[in-house]
């Protein structure tokens, strides 16, 4: 009787894991713990699997992040946009801000890496298109888009860091204490709002802020010269 031949190792992806399951698990970790906590080992633990099994589906963490961002962008419904260029630019910018505010891990990724979801580029296309329709050249429109984008990212980074600081504080934050201790002789304007400083800083004014920035950019003479 011939000796039993050793079984060949299976080729291909393990049957108990799917790319959709990996993306969904990575999304949960990113939403609850942030981009810094996502690793192939952490993801494998979430899926009750081995880290090496994940590499049947994704090459590395960067590819995984791209897949999750692309999945998010593809599944984000596009709103009805106004015909008026100014109103359209405000609507797209506000939609982008609020989408990212609900997914702050994307800001962490975009601020630290050269990663971009192709399906999210409709935001950029609409913003540049609105500026062109308002009367600016494509070069000026890119400047307008870029300035709005930097404002959105900066605002969200400051807000999330401030939120973390305040959540850890057992009393007034260091910033609030410094403002409260200022004298009216040297800082009269700050002193006049010192007792409301924390409340004023905590207010969500992103809609008004974006509208003001956009109005300034669209009407400013500095954007009428090609850069």
User: At the top level of CATH, which class does the domain 81-226 belong to?
Assistant: mainly alpha
Whether pLDDT at 36 is above 90: no
Q: Which of the four pLDDT bands, split at 50, 70 and 90, describes residue 222?
A: low
Higher pLDDT residue, 61 or 111?
61
Q: Identify the band that residue 219 occupies on the pLDDT scale cut at 50, 70 and 90.
A: very high
pTM given for the model: 0.82
* pLDDT confidence of residue 4: 44
Per domain, the residue ranges of the chain are 16-75, 81-226
Residues 16-75, CATH architecture = Orthogonal Bundle (1.10)
Q: What string of H, E and C letters represents the secondary structure of 159-213?
A: HHHHHHHHHHCCCCCHHHHHHHCCCCCCCHHHHHCHHHHHHHHHCCCHHHHHHHH
For the segment 16-28, the average pLDDT, to the nearest whole number, is 92
Question: Residue 57 above 70 pLDDT?
Answer: yes
pLDDT confidence of residue 9: 43
């Amino acid at each position: 009787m011939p000796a039993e031949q050793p079984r060949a190792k299976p080729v291909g992806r393990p049957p108990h894991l799917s790319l959709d399951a990996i993306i969904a698990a990575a999304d949960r970790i990113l939403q609850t713990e942030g981009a810094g906590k996502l690793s192939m080992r952490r993801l494998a633990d979430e899926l009750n699997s081995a880290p090496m099994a994940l590499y049947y589906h994704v090459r590395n963490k960067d590819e995984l992040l791209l897949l999750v961002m692309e999945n998010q962008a593809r599944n984000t419904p596009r709103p009805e946009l106004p015909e008026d260029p100014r109103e359209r630019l405000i609507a797209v910018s506000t939609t982008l801000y609020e989408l990212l505010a609900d997914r702050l891990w994307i800001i962490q990724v975009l601020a630290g890496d050269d990663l971009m979801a192709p399906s999210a580029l409709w935001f950029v296309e609409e913003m540049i298109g609105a500026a062109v329709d308002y009367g600016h050249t494509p070069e000026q429109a890119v400047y307008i888009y870029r300035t709005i984008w930097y404002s959105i990212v900066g605002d969200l980074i400051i807000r999330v860091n401030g939120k973390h600081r305040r959540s850890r504080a057992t009393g007034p934050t260091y910033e609030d204490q410094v403002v409260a201790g200022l004298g009216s002789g040297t800082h009269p304007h700050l002193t006049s709002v010192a007792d409301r400083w924390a409340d004023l800083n905590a207010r969500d004014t992103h809609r008004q802020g974006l509208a003001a920035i956009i109005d300034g950019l669209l009407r400013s003479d500095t954007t009428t010269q090609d850069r």
